[in-house]
Amino acid sequence: MEKAYKLLAQQEGISNKKAKELIDKGLVYVADKKVKIARADLNENTRFRVEDIPDVRIIYQDENIIAVDKPALSDSYDIQDAIPGAILLHRLDRDTSGVLLLSTNEEFAEKAIEEFKHRRVKKEYVAWVEGVLYEETEIDEPILTIKKGKAFSKIDTVRGKKAHTKVKPIEIQGKKSKVSVEITTGRTHQIRVHLAHIGHPIVGDEMYGSRTQNKRILLHAAHIEILDYVFDSKEPKEILKYK
């Protein structure tokens, strides 16, 4: 038996540090099962499969703003670091794909960040959720985020911060539903927590109650409007159709 990250490093010809990073990012599989613990003891004959992350595509760029099409399983801060002088205007969870905004203009960045703070940004997402959702619904439940190690959020009516989410059904496929989601606040894991709260966790979101294993959480940032800019991201194939 040997640690998973050490076996992966040997197989891929990479450093132990790089191997651990790949596992921590959720990119490493044995057959169709994700390797979740880098220090897990595995048989020395274990063969791994490493998922490729598509390249980041620039949707639009001018002297004020850079809109990129973020692939799932990529980190928002890694994208920021890859663009000289870039400042993230907001962030998307690693598993979430779609429109991500940055700027290399400090004055514009400050103005844009204020727009996010004062809820003057329109944000629309698409997700596949567990169960059958027939009707539009609005969720007004305060969210508390605990940031010890990996961030985790929950509904907390006493200590939580105001959070508002609108959910509209688009399509039903078996026991899964495709929904559009609009948020007027931007709490950590807001969509994930609110959908789980109404009994419809996002497919693949095991942290918040999904029982379906998937390569990623099926959440996509499809549309954003800020300071007269409007950007859209096409749905990747796993969002366009569940199966």
CATH number of the domain that 25 lies in?
3.10.290.10
Residue indicated by tokens 């003057």: 120
Give the model's pLDDT for residue 219: 98
90/37 same-domain check:
no
> What is the spatial distance between Cα 20 and Cα 22, in angstroms, rounded to a whole number?
5
83/132 same-domain check:
yes
So which residues are the catalytic ones? 93
Give the model's pLDDT for residue 80: 96
H or E segment at 33? strand 33-34
229/201 same-domain check:
yes
3-state secondary structure of 200: coil
Give the model's pLDDT for residue 45: 87
21/115 same-domain check:
no
94/194 same-domain check:
yes
Burial of 56 (C-beta count, 10 Å sphere; 0-12/13-18/19+): middle
46/145 same-domain check:
no
**4-12 and 16-24 helices cross at what angle (nearest 10)?**
110
Q: What range does the domain containing 159 cover?
A: 57-240
How, if at all, do strands 49-50 and 57-61 pair?
A: unpaired
Q: Give the total number of structural domains in the chain.
A: 2
pLDDT in tens, the chain (243 residues): 888 888 888 988 999 998 888 888 888 888 878 888 889 888 888 899 888 888 899 999 999 999 999 999 899 999 999 999 999 999 999 999 999 999 999 999 999 999 999 999 999 999 999 999 999 999 999 999 998 878 899 999 999 999 999 999 999 999 999 999 999 998 999 999 999 999 999 999 999 999 998 889 999 999 999 999 999 999 999 999 877
Going by C-alpha positions, the residue among 107, 94, 98 that lies closest to residue 65 is: 107
> What is the spatial distance between Cα 148 and Cα 189, in angstroms, rounded to a whole number?
15
Give the model's pLDDT for residue 129: 98
> What is the spatial distance between Cα 193 and Cα 190, in angstroms, rounded to a whole number?
5
107/31 same-domain check:
no
- pTM score: 0.86
212/229 same-domain check:
yes
